[in-house]
Amino acid sequence: YKLLWKAYSWNVDHDCHTVEKLNHHMKTGTWKKLVLDSEKHYHDEIRKAANLLLKRKDVRVMINAGPSSSGKTTTTLKLGEALSAAGISFVTLNLDHYFKNLDQHPKDEYGDHDYETPHALELEMIDDHLASLIKGKTIKMPAFDFKTGKRKDNVTEFKLEKGQIVLIDSLHGLYADMTKSLAPEQKFKFYIEAMCQMKDAEGNFVRWADLRLLRRMVRDSWQRNYDPVSTVGHWHYVRKAEKTYIVPFIHSVDYVFNGSLPYELSAHKIFLDHHFAPIIKKYQ
């Protein structure tokens, strides 16, 4: 609640705590200052998180987790820049290569392969490789071929240089079995959520999940040539997984980061407004 109040107070101070207020910024041209203020606040929070990690001298693994489209990738890059400026180097362990073969993949109630569950990954192998890395050993990473749905083990040699930190950028980084061999002091758990503290005309707060859905619709259409209508149709899989395997762990982390930007609803409207009529027609 402290974090929510902090986010809402910032919005109040910058006159963007309601959709009506945000619309006023757009109409009067003051949105430019709002964008600059929002970006500065975002980077200030990045520096705070980096400074907290720097105080933890025993950390060997940084876990960046959070629900879909919360801002993990962008925030990880920015956090990496802040840490690099302080002389800290980290390398990413790409967990996509640890997927089980497709014929071993868990399936949902409709018989579809479920990529959203942590059990689609070889959790024991990930845990073993992390434990080996922080002991200074060389591991041989697997390689997963998404075209064939098969994984080949012992493909790429990987070792940490002195002083390097392993970064896990994953939806399921907080799932205990993934890092069970590591001591708590060796892990820095960073959680990101798009905590959009803004009210609509009826006084209801904009739902964080709805904001993330808008983000995912834009991302899927730009980067994956995926129709936004289809993104909405798949969203129930995403929500089911994150409510089971991601959101419940928010209380176990070292730092919670707000990845929302107060002005972004206006940007999403430009790209998504014309998609809503067919979406409502199909799913309402």
| Residue 221 pLDDT | 87
Q: What is the dihedral of CA 214, 219, 225, 227, to 10 degrees?
A: -10
Q: Is the pLDDT of residue 72 over 70?
A: yes
| Residue 110 pLDDT | 66
| Residue 90 pLDDT | 85
Strand partners, 165: 90
pLDDT confidence bin for 266, thresholds 50/70/90: very high
Question: Which one has a higher pLDDT value, 52 or 110?
Answer: 52
Q: For residues 267 and 271, what is the distance between their CA atoms, to the nearest angstrom?
A: 7
State how far the alpha carbon of 179 is from the alpha carbons of 24, 106, 139, 187, in Å.
47, 21, 16, 9
Q: For residues 238 and 77, what is the distance between their CA atoms, to the nearest angstrom?
A: 24
The pTM for the full model equals 0.87
Residue-wise pLDDT tens digits, 186-216: 999 999 999 999 999 999 999 999 999 999 9
